Amino acid sequence: MNEKCKSKMVAFLSVLVGIFFLQSNVCQAQQEPKLDLRTTVEKEVKVLRDGKETKARVPIEKTNPGDVLVYTIVYRNIGSSQVTDAGIVNPVPSGVVYLSDTAEGQDAEITLSIDNSRSWHKPPIMMQVKKKDGRIENQPVPMERYTHIRWIIKKPIQPGQSGQVRFKANVK
């Protein structure tokens, strides 16, 4: 094959490869998983039901220090392909303190951060504290230092499927 033919063949193949990648990217763009997130916040209150004190969630009209707020994040796969290992990260809102062991979510691996989501740890997060006598002791990090909560949904989320995760926090 002469050089002129080789040149035309390379140009032709380059166009074919370019079209393949373009079509491939268009198909991938249409197939991308998409997770829609909706967050609601309610206040947890004590109510009497059938003569027994129980907890209920009500819309927030006013908060006071010590009130318990319940943050619920509903997720829904609005894409056309399944979502695997979906990550949902929520900062602990200012003005509240995360309540220990309240993060929950079905099929979710839950980790927390005390450094604005630079690192993640399974609860409880421990820290080393030097005592007056010089000994080093491990103690739980105060809840006030928790900055973010992360849920990794381990079960694939099929198109149209939804679920929810939640946590509670005290108003400062």
Predicted confidence at residue 31, as pLDDT, reads: 60
Write down the mean pLDDT value for the chain.
Answer: 85
Averaged pLDDT, 101-126: 97
Averaged pLDDT, 98-106: 97
Architecture of the domain made up of 34-171: Sandwich (2.60)
The two three-digit tokens of residue 140, written as one number = 């739980």
CA distance 111 to 119: 9
Q: Cβ(172)–Cβ(95) under 8 Å?
A: yes
pTM: 0.78
Residue 83 predicted with pLDDT over 80? yes
Alpha helices, DSSP H only, in the chain? 3-31
CA distance 96 to 55: 20
Task: Calculate the CA 166 to chain-centre distance.
Answer: 10
